[in-house]
Structure 1
Amino acid sequence: MIAYPAMVDVPMELVRHLAGLLAAERRMLGTRRGSRALTCFYQALLVLIWFRKAEDTTTLGAGFGVSRATAYRYVAEGIAVLAAQRPDLHEALRRAADEGWAYVVLDGKLYDCDRVAETTTSVKGKSIDAWYSGKHRDFGANIQAVIRPDGLPIWTSYAQPGHLHDLTCAQQQGVTAALNWAAAELELPALADAGYDGAGHGIKTPAKQPADGRALAVANRTVNRLLRGLRWQGERGFAILNGRWRTLRHTTASPRRIGDIVAAALHLTHFEYRYLIESR
């Protein structure tokens, strides 16, 4: 391999923040001083380069003078300590209400991954690919997110198989129940697209076109236009995550780990946006 100088555009404060989380993890595990190939600082830098530039892990490890297995282990450890900072959904909603936001946005995304051989049984009793989405015609994991009206995601879910619809994923993870609670107790409704129709009174969705082909009533068209006008900015949430952390655009890891990878990227994003309480 040929080494060459390179740079990564992450703030030094973020490297130190992650290094602090890794140091706390090592103390909890009882890791002896000097027994690791890299210090916490350089492990943090390795992890952030992987997130920011989606570097090949083997090549990235070689650049830091560690083996392929060590590089994979260090990245996995970094993902784990970051994902452990995942905010609680009810606390995130309560904070959004306390900050004065009038609503939040619920959205879902299929995170692309390599083809997976795992199968499951469909509602029709047929064997199908568990991680294949017929809607997107691709393999991936379904991730749900709750986003502020200005586009900053405040919570992301665990990964679920791509064959599931957004509404099913939101219901199975208790997202719809939490949002209905927020609308009733915090006066914080959620806006969502038509795929969440039937999620509950706290989640506002557009009126669907009548099945008989009749045009929507003027009142319904007006409400739909209003919802689109309010929701579009919030749907930037996934774009903020994917645009900043390139490793989210495609993963070769197990799709079950995608939820933790996205949660880790969410914590990094919150730090850069000064949304963490300790970073304010």
Structure 2
Amino acid sequence: MLLDGNIFRTTRYRGETAANQKGTSIEVWYSGKTRHHGGQITMVATPTGLPIWVSPVEPGRVHDLTAARTHALPALFHAAAHLDLPTLADEGYLNAGIGIHTPHRSPRPWEPALNIRQKTHNWILRWARGPVERGFALLVGRWRALRHTTKSPRALTRIVAAALVCNHFEHGWTTISR
């Protein structure tokens, strides 16, 4: 399984504010990472990159790991513990838990450099995770509504879920066992 998160851009949305760590008021749907308003969607894909599950939308300011802990990680922990099915993820999911394989983070200036085993692990993980980017490309590239929507970010849940179902239909993929 492959795990990744993406922020889908929307128009400016002023309706909800929250307090940040410093206590100042900020817009919930604004993502400092992408510097746009939007919603955070977490996706689980097959090893070939075909998306098989997408989460409900979270505000754009929510970190990948926080959104995954809310929606995806409980099922992925079960798959890792009981089905021996690991999940590959990027550095945004460091310390996610059992069965979530992430790369070794780049060392800080005062830390020792990565050894050859760690570099090889990172290279293999990047190579194996490549198709998950194809999964988001299948959704965003094929369905124009996901490139930039003028609707409220809360509507993204239904739009992405509909795109996922249509994507499964186009590729002849079904979850029904025969």
Structure 2 residue runs of 5 or longer lacking an equivalent are none
Tell me whether 1:192 sits opposite 2:89 in the alignment.
yes
User: 140, 157, 165: which is aligned to 1:259?
Assistant: 157
Amino acid in structure 1 at the alignment position of 2:35: R
Q: Greater strand share, 1 or 2?
A: 2
Tell me by how many angstroms 1:180 deviates: 1.3
Identity %: 50
Tell me whether 1:166 sits opposite 2:68 in the alignment.
no
* Cross-structure match for 2:77: 180
- Secondary structure at 1:233 match in 2: helix
Greater C-alpha radius of gyration: 1
- Secondary structure at 2:52 match in 1: strand
Tell me by how many angstroms 1:277 deviates: 5.1
**Distance of 1:137 and 1:267 partners within structure 2:** 29
**Distance of 1:181 and 1:191 partners within structure 2:** 15
Q: Normalising to structure 2: TM-score of the pair?
A: 0.94
* Cross-structure match for 1:105: 2
1:133-164 Cα deviation digits (max 9, x unpaired)? 11111110000000111110000000000001
User: 32, 37, 41: which is aligned to 1:139?
Assistant: 37
1:103-161 Cα deviation digits (max 9, x unpaired)? x1000000000011121112332211101111111110000000111110000000000
Structure 1 residue runs of 5 or longer lacking an equivalent are 1-103
**Distance of 1:242 and 1:131 partners within structure 2:** 19
Q: Which has the higher contact order (CA 8 A, sep 6+)?
A: 2
What is the CA RMSD across the aligned residues, in angstroms? 1.4
How has the CA–CA distance of structure 1 residues 206 and 156 changed in structure 2, closer, same or farther, with 3 Å as cutoff? same
Q: Normalising to structure 1: TM-score of the pair?
A: 0.60
Tell me by how many angstroms 1:177 deviates: 1.8
Tell me, yes or no, if the aligned pair for 2:8 and 2:39 is still in contact at 8 Å: yes
- Secondary structure at 1:169 match in 2: helix
Tell me by how many angstroms 1:276 deviates: 2.5
* Alignment: residue pair count: 175
